[in-house]
Amino acid sequence: MANHDIEFTWLHIQYEEKSAFVETYGFSGNQGAVNLEGILIRPKGRPSDTLMIFMHPASTLQLLPVPRAAALHGTHVLCAASRYAKNDAALIMEKVLLDLGAYVRHAKDVLGYKKIVIVGWSGGGSLALFYQSQAENPTITHTPAGDAVDIRGAGLIPADALIFQAAHISRAQLLVDSIDPSIRRENDPDDRIRELDIYDPANPNQPPYSADFIAQYRKAQRARIDRIRGWVWETMEALKKRNTAELERGFVTHRTFADPRFIDPAIDPNDRKPRWSYLGNPETVNTGPVALGRFSTLRSWLSQWSIQDSRADGVACAAYIRVPFLAIENSADDAAPQPHTGMIYRAAASTDKTFHVIKGATHYYAGQPEQLAEAVTLQRRWLVTRGLLVE
């Protein structure tokens, strides 16, 4: 498959939205409108009726290898950033659906594309499923915190196909699996239960972990999540009762990157590197600024991190999608847990669905040109077969 010369075009989309308070810094969202930025990547001299949209709730994707490689091989690609790009502290998943919907509508009405394929990579996987489920069967009128958000009346346009690639079930599921249960008190990260601290060399529980320890560990993780959730709801109710101008509050959650899968490769085994993660040394990440859910607002925590409240559950959403569905698992993925892709694939209601494993591929395909080429070729052939791309 020959490479094409590609061009990059900055894309700006604006749409009106009223909000009770400013939740994103700067121009975006504070003048009665939401402003979005995306990057169109297109092969020169190669028109297409089909656009692949890559979107992550909190990241920009134009620097990743897959979107660029897809364009190099002849596909039109849009890397779409949400209003929360590179800062998920105030992120509301329901509002990200509106952002993605604005891109899809612009692609069809302004750019003239006839067919849309949403590619859900990493955190974009559950977003893609959440979007498509609401586009096909819109139901949401409020966020989990009770704030009005009219997804049902937004007129979201369904995609023509979905690709779920190196992705996980949900941000909430990742957090409940990764939060450090050794924390006794939320405001004191140094006060820890040694027997539950997988990074403490004096912990009597060492890998390979026993089934009893994992069960105890998972139970303690869920208990910590439930305690945080209880505090979030109590604080929200307290703020409402005060009836003042204080409507929201930010907070820190310490030590949120302690999934025992990082330490013990026998747990949900795949080809990943032991004692490593897509963010580097997991022990360092556990206390660093980029770990899951480190900084959050009350409303955001309920919408994206609460396993009981977040609606962006990939398994639940997959049961409502009907379009062609391609699920790609990377066998050496060091971010998305190994069982997640299969769980999503089995849950998908699509009658046309495909599951494929790329052997040896890591989360980012870093330094893996063969695996990257396999992923892009697989995508194109799958779309061509379904009449969604023309060779």
Q: List, for residues 123-166, the tens digit of each pLDDT value.
A: 999 999 999 999 999 999 999 999 999 999 999 999 999 999 99
Taken in order of first residue, the domains within the chain and their CATH numbers are 6-170+311-385 (3.40.50.1820), 173-305 (no CATH)
Query: Looking at the predicted structure, is the pLDDT value of residue 193 above 80?
Result: yes
Please, what is the angle between helix 211-242 and helix 171-178, to 10°? 120
- SS3 call for 114: coil
Q: List, for residues 31-79, the tens digit of each pLDDT value.
A: 788 999 999 999 999 999 999 999 999 999 999 999 999 999 999 999 9
Please, what is the angle between helix 369-385 and helix 65-72, to 10°? 60
Residue 2, pLDDT score: 61
- SS3 call for 10: strand
What DSSP string runs through 233-258? HHHHHHHHHHTSS----EEE------
Residue 61, pLDDT score: 95
Tokens of 276: 């490593």
Q: List, for residues 227-255, the tens digit of each pLDDT value.
A: 999 999 999 999 999 999 999 999 999 99
| pLDDT confidence bin for 27, thresholds 50/70/90 | low
Total-model pTM: 0.96
Cα-based angle 52, 57, 61 (whole degrees, multiple of 5): 50
Tokens of 287: 């206390």
Question: With the C-alpha atoms ordered 141, 129, 236, 33, is the resulting torsion angle positive or negative?
Answer: negative
- Average pLDDT of the chain, as a whole number: 96
Query: Looking at the predicted structure, is the pLDDT value of residue 26 above 80?
Result: no
Residue 391, pLDDT score: 80
For residue 351, give the amino acid letter.
T
Tokens of 104: 């899809």
Cα-based angle 206, 208, 210 (whole degrees, multiple of 5): 85
Q: List, for residues 69-128, the tens digit of each pLDDT value.
A: 999 999 999 999 999 999 999 999 999 999 999 999 999 999 999 999 999 999 999 999
